[in-house]
Structure 1
Amino acid sequence: MPKRNKHKLPEFIKKALQFLKAPENLTVSEWAEKYRKLDVKTSAIPGPWRNEMTPYLVEIMDEFNNPDTEEIVFVKPTQVGGTEVLLNVIGYVVMQDPNPAMVVYPTDDLAESISENRIQPMFQLSQELNKRFKKNESNRSELQFDGMYLSLTGANSPSSLSSKAIRYLLLDEVDKYPGASKKEADPIKLARERTKTFPNSKLFITSTPTVRTGHINKAKETSDVIKHYFVPCVHCSEFIELKFQQIRWPKEESMSEVDRAEFANYVCQECGCVITDQHKMQMIKQGKWQVVQQRTQYPRKVCYWMNTLYSPFVTFGEIAKEFLTTKNDPESFQNFTNSWLAEVWEDTKLKTNADMVKERQTDIPEFTVPEWAELLTAGVDVQETSLYYTIRAWGKYMTSQLVAKGQVSSFTDIENIMNAEFYKENGERMIVNAAGIDSGDQTDEVYDFCARNSGWAIPIKGVGDGLHHFRISMVNRTTSSAHGMQLILIDGGKYKDMIASRMKKKNGTGSWMVYKGIDDDYAEQVTAEHKVNEKRSGRTVSIWVKKTSHADNHYLDCEVYDFAMADVLGVRTLHLLQEETPPEANVNEVAEEFNNDWLGGNKKWLDEF
């Protein structure tokens, strides 16, 4: 039989049918793994995109497929593949959901360079993308595709930002954008205006942070949800957040900083086991994003934050090396803070650092009270799973020295420590006169503990009214066993000012000192904050904030409570009391009588807020 002729469809009909074909049901990450190709010129791992290489990017990409999400914020360091999220979204939109889109870079020149060297090569490498790319109708600042265009512009061109209606707005490295001027509005606000035509528009904003007032930090602070990436420890299986302070390296002074960094590893904050670079990739693949802050039940603006510790391309040793070689150079250390830790950089007029703490060491060992001491106070910072404490000796002119500090697991431990005896080198016995117990967390438990130990334990609460260092109030919970007991309200910022200024004084009268052999953890925690200027209600105020958001500052809080207790006991007038006290009187008995006076009555108490 003769073969029947097969009529081929005209090319224009094929194209029409192809255009009418429904897109595949894919998420952004699924699309990337199926169609994205990486260029040998721009990628360390050229070839097909693999989600398993950077699994932390999967949820960020797929958030574009969440119909409830309007804005996605990605606060990122360098070397985690953040730029690839933006490129994958572009490819996905072109193939799956063609709609007008715009990418805004810091400058026009950068936009044109990325267009020529990153975006157009991406379309040429993928056969399916290349089918939709109308190269002959495109230029470097505007690429044409089937059913849509992609505008590439710089934040330094206000006219370009305000001239096109778009559905997808992608803002890259926003902290490098120029600010608003008298003639032109903020570039981000101008770009946002272009999305009003589309009720289902999407905004993606990403950057390495710079300063607290930068665009990306503002976007983070106004997000409905903030998420961090958690990974399971290979030893204890607990999900942990990778934090820089958990990277440890040898302390041998004979080794150079570069050599010390070579031996850096990560120590799990839950079980204390060592995690090496060989473990990291396995942990990252099993990781998940977890909400660390949520402001509304129905979030529309979702923020993702991570640091370089999660990068499969960077070792713990390289991070340690970067820190050790930049920490003494403010300009280089700012880059480390921004580009490696993804933290905002804050400078301050009142600086403290761990080295300054080490300089305040005396020849007196831990647990030994200086000869000049007349009072002992303690501060206890209450956390969900543990308690931190410090015990400080006080003399005239507010001279002070750390006697002991530590972390314990229960209030029973605190009770035993605070009732322990401490000795001067001459054998004289001393005990803690008063301990300020943080009542901001586990309040009822703290109140009950203080009621049971009312001879020395005082609940303390930070209020920051800006008027007084401390005020004596009372516990007004009628259901509490501590009802009617004194409550000390303090302005922590004022005591941090005192600590920082006295820390700068050389050891001696009026100085803030620590015992011999103080460890790095205490030194880092007690200097974990610095003072910065912020605008509030139209005026500039100076406040204490953490240098990095993940820094532990428990010992600093303990020292604040130490200072407050010393103030309550009248340490500022010790030199006057000494002159009025008969020589034969025991100073501990005088202090005990003084304690009983203000612990007993409530005539001068103020109502608690």
Structure 2
Amino acid sequence: MTGFPRALPVIAGLFAGIFAPPAPMPPSAWAGQHFFLPDGERKAQLIDLARTPHLIEPMDALGPDAPDNELAVMKSAQSAFTTCLQIVALHSIDRDPCDMMIVQPTDSALTDFNSQKLGRAIELSPLMRRKVKPQTSRSGQSSTTYEKKFDPDCSLILSLATSTADLRSKTIKKALCDEIDEYPDDLNDQGDPLDMIRARQISFLRSGTWKRAYFSTPTIKGTSKIEQKYEAGDKRRWTMTCPHCGDDDLRFEWGESFKFDREPPFAAHYIPPCCGTVIEGWQKFAVYETGRWMPTAPGPGKFKSYHFDALSSPFVPWDEIAKEYVQAGDNPTKLKTFWNLTLGLPFELKGDAPDYERLLERREDYIAGVVPARGLLLVAGADVQHSGIWVEAVAFADNGESWSIHHEFFEGETTDHKAGAFAKLATFYERQFPDAFGGHRILDCMGIDAGDGGRSNQVYAFCRSRPRAYAIKGVSGWTAPAIGTPVQVDVKLSGKKVKKGATLWPVGTWSLKATFYTNLQKDGRKAGAEVDPDGYCHHHQGCDERYFKQQTAEYLKTTTVRGRTTKIWQETGPNHLLDCRIYAMAMAEYLGLSRLSPEQWAVLARERGVPPVLVEPDLFAPEPVKIAAKPALVGRAKPARGRRVLSRGI
């Protein structure tokens, strides 16, 4: 027995080794052993963070051994921070098990994140397959599609920013919030989703062990949520060493230092202010690898906030950035996309409408009701009121130039989709407009507002029997696309409800209004310019004072909603014809205004009867542009004289 006391330290040491917590390991070190890339060029391989060193610091700041509680990342697209988010969550499952939440902005984003990223990463990792309970288990403790369960009795919840039930579900220690600029400002009149998420972490405030991160590409300057978070932090930038003079305070900035040609191959390069010696595009990636994060606005109490863009990204060549900028031109919608997704910066909108008197002065002498030579798309928007229907037909060219063709108010009752003002709208729908080449054109499509005006069912019924008529509903917010994903809605006809009897298309009106007002501000040949610029708006002499007053009847107002500064559109008077124009723009986008290639425009020109001499003869013609409007109704529309209308699928 004399040997037993001597064995106690050995036994105790063995048990201590078994039950002691694992040695600290930051997420970046853990990832190199256990995180397999779910997609991309190196799919199913262990991650090598030496290839993306910009991820390491923010990733490790979210580890359990780091003192940081909160951080924000304002980023460009394709900057790999979604990978950072996955690693932080999976590292916590293994090394710091606790209740967590990952919040995505939309149902589709949540589904894609789970199926294409997080779910695959779990399946690829032997460690994670052991740690995360499978969905196939019959136990009540098994995982579900949107709740990953693991011991000891913890879970990672995948939540929607648009679901009050998700955001009020349970107390959490860690919250990882993705693409926060797409979160609603006010969720079902219950407050800001970010405030609701923050309330889930109150129990951990005293211990100081909570973690909260915000990731997002920005949207509109002055209203972007991630911009506000970034500005509140210490504003870290990826800071590199100049390969020529050794200056260690080099940051790639959009502006005068970034040079490129306006034509391919663009020859993009950077002239650093430290020494003025050119850094060529092929040198970018080696310079990136010398970088580290440096705060540009340090201060007491500030959390870490990061800005990272394609100029510094190891994934995006500079020539590609130059190409994207040149292709955006002065189109405000494309520039916003470039600013947000490539530069990772909020876009500053110019939301002031021009003076209507100036627009009156620059009217032109083209004939109302006749489609001009370059107006290859012919669309219309209609705004339904109780006393009648406002409508405008607009023609668009390949560069976004537009011509007002016809506008009118159809007076009459709107309670019956077959009578009154709707009967006049039906005549307008079938109208044949003469074109510049002696032919006739019917509307390619018409968007009719079925919003909250009390005439939704009438609009649905009107559109059901007309394949080129679309029931639409305006959607507010700066992230809503020009034309969104349609939904099936119920229709009440003759007192009976028809389940999913009509299709309703959401229209993102806010960005379209910004685009329209930017185009209205442009000067063309009427003001002495050599050419009319892309997006220029043409108006005939029949566009009178009332017309222009309605089209300029809104402005961008800066306001405060629940303590957050934002920009909203504010009406100054009747705006029915503005709504008609916005709906017409949405229909043009539906047909492919911003997507069609030069070759496809050439095919369309031939089909619209443009004489061959006016169409570039050397353009390769792809397959003929497909007929029609709604996929289920292809072939039922009969364009005049064989003219075809576009399919959205191009």
- Would you say 1:327 and 2:338 are equivalent positions? no
Deviations 1:515-563 (A, max 9, x none): xxxxxxxxxxxxxxxx986448999999xxxxxxxxxxxxxxxxxxxxx
Identity of aligned residues (%): 26
In 2, Cα distance between equivalents of 1:221 and 1:260: 36
Q: Read off the aligned partner of 2:190 and give its amino acid letter.
A: E
Q: Read off the aligned partner of 1:231 and give its amino acid letter.
A: M
Matches within 5 A, 1:503-518: none
Contact (CA 8 Å) 1:70, 1:202: kept in 2 or not?
Answer: yes
**Alignment correspondent of 1:604:** none
The offset of 1:44, in angstroms, is 4.9
Q: Read off the aligned partner of 1:242 and give its amino acid letter.
A: F
Change (3 A) 1:187 1:264: same
**Alignment correspondent of 1:513:** none
**Alignment correspondent of 2:441:** none
**Alignment correspondent of 1:297:** 300
**Alignment correspondent of 1:209:** 218
- Would you say 1:77 and 2:79 are equivalent positions? no
- Of the structure 1 ranges 78-87 and 269-278, higher mean CA displacement relative to structure 2 is found in 269-278
Contact (CA 8 Å) 2:223, 2:566: kept in 1 or not?
Answer: no
**Alignment correspondent of 1:346:** 348
Contact (CA 8 Å) 1:107, 1:153: kept in 2 or not?
Answer: no
**Alignment correspondent of 1:57:** 55
In 2, Cα distance between equivalents of 1:35 and 1:339: 30
Matches within 5 A, 1:231-380: 231-238=240-247, 239-245=249-255, 246-250=257-261, 257-261=262-266, 263-294=267-298, 296-299=299-302, 301-349=303-351
Change (3 A) 1:532 1:20: farther
Contact (CA 8 Å) 1:123, 1:130: kept in 2 or not?
Answer: yes
Deviations 1:293-321 (A, max 9, x none): 12x3243x221112111111110100011
In 2, Cα distance between equivalents of 1:56 and 1:298: 23
Deviations 1:263-292 (A, max 9, x none): 111222221111123322222221111111
In 1, Cα distance between equivalents of 2:275 and 2:44: 38
In 2, Cα distance between equivalents of 1:77 and 1:94: 28
Contact (CA 8 Å) 2:236, 2:296: kept in 1 or not?
Answer: yes
Q: Read off the aligned partner of 2:144 and give its amino acid letter.
A: N
Deviations 1:299-353 (A, max 9, x none): 3x2211121111111101000110011032111110000011111111125699x
In 1, Cα distance between equivalents of 2:83 and 2:18: 27
State the TM-score, normalizing by the size of structure 2.
Answer: 0.49
Change (3 A) 1:317 1:532: farther
Deviations 1:481-508 (A, max 9, x none): xxxxxxxxxxxxxxxxxxxxxx9999xx
Deviations 1:141-192 (A, max 9, x none): 1011122210001111111111111101000011111220563211111111
The offset of 1:79, in angstroms, is 1.6
Matches within 5 A, 1:129-528: 129-135=128-134, 136=137, 137-147=142-152, 148-181=154-187, 183-199=189-205, 200-211=209-220, 212-223=222-233, 225-238=234-247, 239-245=249-255, 246-250=257-261, 257-261=262-266, 263-294=267-298, 296-299=299-302, 301-349=303-351
The offset of 1:232, in angstroms, is 0.7
- Secondary structure of the corresponding residue to residue 234 of structure 1: coil
- Of the structure 1 ranges 277-286 and 157-166, higher mean CA displacement relative to structure 2 is found in 277-286
Change (3 A) 1:249 1:183: closer
In 2, Cα distance between equivalents of 1:166 and 1:20: 25
Change (3 A) 1:328 1:122: same
Change (3 A) 1:44 1:318: farther
What 5-or-longer segments of structure 2 have no aligned partner? 1-14, 355-520, 525-554, 568-650
Contact (CA 8 Å) 2:162, 2:187: kept in 1 or not?
Answer: no
Deviations 1:362-406 (A, max 9, x none): xxxxxxxxxxxxxxxxxxxxxxxxxxxxxxxxxxxxxxxxxxxxx
What 5-or-longer segments of structure 1 have no aligned partner? 1-15, 251-256, 353-502, 507-530, 543-609
In 1, Cα distance between equivalents of 2:170 and 2:214: 19
The offset of 1:219, in angstroms, is 1.4
Deviations 1:401-430 (A, max 9, x none): xxxxxxxxxxxxxxxxxxxxxxxxxxxxxx
Matches within 5 A, 1:53-132: 53-65=51-63, 67-132=66-131
In 1, Cα distance between equivalents of 2:307 and 2:44: 26
In 2, Cα distance between equivalents of 1:330 and 1:42: 31
> Which of 27, 48, 60 is the matching residue for 2:46?
48
In 2, Cα distance between equivalents of 1:304 and 1:140: 32
Contact (CA 8 Å) 1:24, 1:96: kept in 2 or not?
Answer: no
In 1, Cα distance between equivalents of 2:566 and 2:320: 38
In 2, Cα distance between equivalents of 1:504 and 1:172: 37
Q: Read off the aligned partner of 1:203 and give its amino acid letter.
A: R
Contact (CA 8 Å) 1:72, 1:205: kept in 2 or not?
Answer: yes
Contact (CA 8 Å) 2:44, 2:124: kept in 1 or not?
Answer: no
Contact (CA 8 Å) 1:80, 1:311: kept in 2 or not?
Answer: yes
- Would you say 1:31 and 2:35 are equivalent positions? no
Return the index of the structure with the highest Cα Rg: 1
Change (3 A) 1:28 1:351: farther
Change (3 A) 1:107 1:237: same
- Secondary structure of the corresponding residue to residue 117 of structure 2: helix
In 2, Cα distance between equivalents of 1:88 and 1:138: 19
Contact (CA 8 Å) 2:103, 2:176: kept in 1 or not?
Answer: yes
- Of the structure 1 ranges 64-73 and 209-218, higher mean CA displacement relative to structure 2 is found in 64-73
Change (3 A) 1:17 1:144: farther
In 2, Cα distance between equivalents of 1:265 and 1:81: 24
